[in-house]
Chain A
């Protein structure tokens, strides 16, 4: 077993028993691992799955970027055509739709997160925003049901299973083949032998995940700091699962019992804890029904048609004092009144809408606490957070759309209230959505 020279051994035995260095232990365990067909296969399969997930993730992100490019081009073309047919400010504001989009961050390929259920391309116009912003049919629901095959999925669900396969018979096999006493005796320090063996095995699996990730990160030009943090999250997932599995591995049980217990642990932490978390969330967080938001907004906008014009204009001026001096609306229809009641409709539903978003954020915070109990949830959330594909990112995008809508209103109100002569050239200055700030 020893790699030291016999001569060196005799001179050293006088002081202390000499054992190979830890590095040598690792090298020996790595050689042993390479000779084990099953273990190599598990590592190779995990690596292949991680590489596939990276490839698919990069392809998906590329597709999303191309979709956004095309969306913006179509949008500009369509707006130009729509505005060309208009003859007054109010009509132009009604006809012009504006693209908003949430570009995928470089790391999005590793964790597509909420991007398959929360829309990231939406056209908005000057009408009440609450009637526009809640689109949710983003794609084929049968694909969303299956879920994405991204790296966060491999790290969250497949990696722990691979660890169970690679670690479950670590000790049991030696015991079942009667080698355990001999092994511990020749190794001198039993603990060091196992540490080397575990480090090599877990390290091999971690590398099977990390190497494809690093290639993908390089291709996607992910900043080095983000890559390091994401690598840390992946490594942490491997280490946490290992620490959870080790107490089972060292039990004096047959290998099948250890594997069963390991898979049971996986079921509990990867599937049952998130389910329980959802139950707790439902109990803790008051659900705000999104349908109510749209309903309240619709009623407010609709009622305005039957209310005295002054009622709408007074409510509008209260939140927009800069237009306090505007002339009262006398005729049955005026564009400034029309857009004022759209805005008043949004303001009426504003509190409910905020509560709806707050409830989503609150549910997300509960999920964040559940992550402490489930490494599966934790690694997914960590990667989604780094990749800007988590729930918080969808809410930030929502806020950017709202900020942009406010800029649109600020652009149109002077035309609608001051009623300068219609001048198409001034439409050149229409604000464009900024994915960084709204």
Chain B
């Protein structure tokens, strides 16, 4: 009989919640917040994406509008690139507000991203960014707790549990019914995520895999809270003590765990300050020599190699501009040094991120937070991907200009251009070359890559759900004890 009674139980619980002022207030609060954040985040993401696209177009136009000039001038003129936000940033902006939005690309330097939103936002909104994912991860569990704390404990204190028992209801069925009723509420909370995800998939902006993982992950996460809530409600003596215990659980897992994890990560893996590293990079680059100086002794062995390759004895006799070759070689050596330092730094930051992810075993919040960011493509890995792509684009651009420097200019004109105005005029190459440079093309990581990154965390969440189910099964005997 118990299988047939479960739907009745679920409907009965829902009816009771509808009559309950607390539950109604909680529902209203939840709906309001989800609506507010969805609208806010959508508008914010749209505006931000628009801004960045506008700036990128402006920067591209400015680059292409440069007149005929010496190619090395363009190396120093440089270029700006802006990070296009990931489509799923509408649901979970992740670290986007905390990282710079644009990078200035120029010769000889690997610049960092500048102008982070967080620096402009000030003291408001430092408790995570207010997004639909934030609401589902942080506040919906709270609503589930407020509504569900009395689910079993209430039946017991009112004596209705005893009546159900007398009618032959199995204790497990009561817990299952309550859990399903609460899960219905959770489903309502996940629905907006699913809706936005479906729109993104339908309009071809996003692949199905990451959306399924993101939405499904939030579903699993809320199921964990449903399980914990019903289990504690079954164990507690009164609804009040169930509520107090659950609030403590929530505060520990949601309010405290992320910050404690961050402190542990910061202590466990040290990332040297960027300014220290900047000095080390400058020192390493100085050791390479100055590629603006064609006679720099550091390029002597390179010169010998090039002369041997072309079978000449003087750089003046080379069929290409020696100065351009030095610029090219210097850029390559410099980029290798800068990339080595950057890779080391990123490895350390990834180490910190791995510590944060390890806390997924301590709090389901960290599991879903990192799953969600990984699936959306708004996590640290994505930021690294952006700065690496920007660096690759910078290097390509500078080397194309250095190639022009080597092939389109004569060594004699290039050497005389500071003194001789006619030689200077001849060192200017056609502006048509600027427009021929490839545009920066950056998009969020391929869906398969993001799914691979998010899957282990989905596994952890799955285990959390399993654990909640096992605990629920284990406490069912306590459920009906008066």
Contacts and interface: CB of A to CB of B under 8 A. Distances in A.
Given A360-B122, A367-B122, A370-B124, A260 B102 contact: no
Interface string A250-275: 00001111011101100100111011
A333 B286 CA distance: 24
Nearest to B70: A305
Given A141-B95, A279-B40, A290-B115, A136 B259 contact: no
B120 A135 contact: no
A136 B99 CA distance: 7
A322 B128 CA distance: 51
Given A78-B282, A117-B98, A381 B146 contact: no
Contacts of A134: 114-115
A291 B115 contact: yes
Interface stretch (B176-184, B239-247, B393-401): B239-247
B385 interface: no
A435 B115 CA distance: 23
Nearest to A146: B262
A15 interface: no
Nearest to B252: A45
Nearest to A391: B122
A389 to B, nearest CB: 10
B259 A153 contact: yes
A137 interface: yes
Interface in B220-265: 239-240, 243-244, 247-248, 251, 255-256, 258-263, 265
B240 A255 contact: yes
B104 interface: yes
A306 B65 CA distance: 14
B260 to A, nearest CB: 6
A100 B162 CA distance: 72
A377 interface: yes
Contact of A148 (B37, B124, B262, B279): B262
A157 B101 CA distance: 30
B265 A332 contact: no
Interface in B130-154: 130, 138-139, 142, 146, 149-150
A281 B124 contact: yes
B144 to A, nearest CB: 12
Given A147-B127, A257-B22, A332 B247 contact: no
Contacts of B100: 136-137
B465 interface: no
Nearest to A57: B263
A122 interface: yes
B36 A291 contact: no
Contacts, number: 259
A376 B100 CA distance: 27
Interface residues of A, number: 98
Chain B contact residues: over half helix, strand or loop, or mixed? helix
A123 B421 contact: no
Nearest to B100: A136
B55 interface: yes
Interface stretch (B194-202, B268-276, B316-324, B455-463): B268-276
B80 A291 contact: yes
A377 B122 CA distance: 11
Contacts of A165: 244, 247-248
A274 B118 contact: no
A59 B263 CA distance: 10
Residue among A71, A172, A257, A360 with max Cβ neighbours from chain B (10 Å): A257
A276 to B, nearest CB: 8
A117 B119 contact: yes
Contact of B247 (A82, A136, A259): A259
A142 B29 contact: no
Interface in B367-387: 379-380, 383
Contacts of A131: 104
Given A260-B26, A381-B123, A298 B104 contact: yes
B116 interface: yes
A81 interface: yes
Given A275-B36, A390-B123, A391-B122, A137 B282 contact: no
A147 B262 CA distance: 8
5 contacts: A74-B280, A137-B100, A149-B262, A278-B121, A282-B44
Given A74-B279, A294-B104, A298-B104, 8 more contacts: A140-B352, A142-B262, A142-B380, A145-B98, A172-B240, A271-B127, A278-B125, A359-B120
The 3 closest A-B pairs by CB, nearest first: A146-B262, A290-B115, A141-B95
